[in-house]
Amino acid sequence: MTFNDIFKSSFLENIASVSILDMAIALLLAFGIGIFIFFVYKKTYQGVMYSSGFGTTLVALTMITTVVILAVTSNVVLSLGMVGALSIVRFRTAIKEPLDIAFLFWAIAVGIVLAAGMIPLAVIGSVIIGAILLVFVNRKSHCNPYIVVLSCVDAMTEKKAVDYLKGNVQRCIVKSKTAAKGLIELNLEIRMANDNTDFINELSMMPGVNNAVLVSYNGEYMG
């Protein structure tokens, strides 16, 4: 082994393994598609509290995945080390909305496909996925579910109030009932044919009804 062999390194040899033009094109496309994913996420979000940080994460995740896959495809040995390094990473952040998982996988998939050089697949696939999400997620139901919280003083008032409610909505189902001395509280799931909520006003004015509350409900949260 000579003196030059001691200080010889393959680090400088890897500088030109990925051209500057390829990196620039891949990262610009990743940024553009990441912005599109962010836009679709913002338009289709239906949770309780919107987080702009998660949308920014989608853009960053698309670009980071592109950089990682570019490095992996340029060096087989590096790809093996990358797999081992990423296998020890653990994420503890809870996913609040099921649809967020789809956006995370979408961002990762786009980064992988772009770095692999399949630009038409990444662009056309993202446009189709985004259009499908915009159509199906934003589709409004004709019969939105609501929860009516009804407080009555006795069983007779309860029967009259429930009968009145069933006559003014398309569907009415008792979800829970709490009975105490001088108080009966009902939680009823209803489906309305339109946005007219005047029946709640009439219901609250009935003798023996303490109060009537109408709450929007989507099966996961109320607000």
User: Over the stretch 6-63, which tens digit does the pLDDT of each residue have?
Assistant: 445 555 555 556 678 888 888 999 999 999 999 999 888 876 667 778 888 899 999 9
Pairing mode, if any, of strands 209-216 and 171-180?
A: unpaired
Instruction: Give the pLDDT of residue 205.
Output: 87
Cα separation, 111 vs 116, in Å, equals 9
In this predicted model, what pLDDT tens digit does every residue of 144-173 receive, in sequence order?
688 888 888 888 888 888 888 888 888 888
Domain boundaries, the chain: 3-137, 145-216
Q: What is the CATH number of domain 145-216?
A: 3.30.70.260
Cα pseudo-dihedral 83, 87, 88, 91, rounded to 10: 130
End-to-end CA distance of the chain: 74
Please tell me the distance from the alpha carbon of residue 209 to that of residue 183, in angstroms, as a whole number: 10
